[in-house]
Amino acid sequence: MNRVFCRFLLLLIVLLFLPHAVYAGANLEVNTPAITSLKQSMQGRHIQLVNYYENGAVGFTKDGLLALRDANVVPLAKRQVVNGLISAENQDRNLLYREIARANKHPEWEKEIRATFSQRWIKLAKTGWWYQGAGGSWSQK
């Protein structure tokens, strides 16, 4: 019985940690024409979003996307524009995570790639920008 328990424990450890070990080999800097196009689109949009990051209107969500955090700091006449920017950015981010996973030949890694990028966005955010913590509450960097 002790031997059976040891085998079960070994199998459990492999099942729990092997996916993470395999994922650690992901190339997050992989480049394909689709990824290049998405990155260029996102870079162009970033210039338009910077003011909204700075005034706290837009923040980084815990799932690697953007959200309108405080609509009150966006003039009513510009809210539709800001919502459009957020929607387009989130669409590109979702596609980016998917394309990176596919380019690594592991589409099942999309969730982990999203989590890694979510941490990267927050790390790269400037002081004063807002982000959502794991529990969903907003914090200012």
Closest to 59 measured CA to CA, from 110, 114, 8, 133: 133
pLDDT for 73: 96
Read off the pLDDT band of 14 (50, 70, 90).
Answer: very low
Read off the pLDDT band of 103 (50, 70, 90).
Answer: very high
Q: What are the sequence ranges of the domains in the chain?
A: 31-140
| The model scores a pTM over 0.85 | no
Which residues are within 8 A (CB) of 113 and not within 5 positions of it... i.e. 6 or more apart? 26, 28, 97, 100, 101
Provide the Cα torsion 81, 85, 91, 97; round to 10°: -170
Here the tokens at position 135 are 């529990």
Look-up of token digits 């700075």: 54
**pLDDT at 127 > cutoff 90:** yes
**72-101 tens-digit pLDDT:** 999 999 999 999 999 999 999 999 999 999
- In degrees and rounded to multiples of 5, residue 99 shows phi and psi of -65, -35
Stretch 22-34: mean pLDDT: 79
Read off the pLDDT band of 13 (50, 70, 90).
Answer: very low
